Chains A and B, each alone.
Chain A
Amino acid sequence: MSESLLDVQELETIFKTPEGVVHAVNGVSFDLKEGETLGMVGESGCGKSATMLSILRLIPVPPGKIAAGKVLFFGQDLLQMSNEEIRHVRGAQISMVFQDPMTSLNPVLTIGRQVEEPLMLHVGMSRSQARARAAELLSMVGIPQAQDRLNDFPHQFSGGMRQRVMIAMALACSPQILIADEPTTALDVTIQAQITDLVKRLRDELGMAIIWITHDLGIVAGLAQRVLVMYGGFIIEESPVSELYANPRHPYTIGLLGSLPRVDEKERKRLFSIEGQPPVLYERPASCPFAPRCKWVVERCWQENPMLEPVAPEHRVACWVNTQTGRSRS
Chain B
Amino acid sequence: MNTEQFRICPESGLQFHKPAETLMRIHAVAAIVILLVGGITALLVTLTRWPAVHLLPADRFYQLLTMHGVNMLIFWIITFEIAILYFCSSTLLRCRLATPRIAWLGFALMMIGVVVNNAAVLKGDASVMMTSYVPMPANPNFYLGLILFAVGALLGCFIFLGTLVIAKEEQTYEGSIPLVTFGALTACIIAVFTIASGAVILIPTYMWSMGWIEHIDAVMYRLVWWALGHSSQQINVAAHVAVWYAIAAIVFGAKPLSEKVSRTAFLLYIAFLQLASAHHLLVDPGISSTWKIFNTSYAMYLAVLASMVHGLTVPGSIEVAQRAKGFSQGLFQWLRKAPWGNPVFSGMFISLIGFGFLGGISGVVMGTEQINIIIHNTIYVPGHFHATVVIGTTLAFMSLTYFLIPVLFRRQLVMPWLAKWQPYLFGLGMGVFTTVMMGAGTLGVARRHWDMAFTDAALGFDYPASAYTLMGLVGISGMLAIVGGAIFILVTVLSVFFGKPVESESPYGVAATILPKAEPTIEPAGGHAATGKWGFAAPGTFVFAIFFLAIFVVYYAVNWKYLASVWPMQ
Q: Do A and B bind each other?
A: no
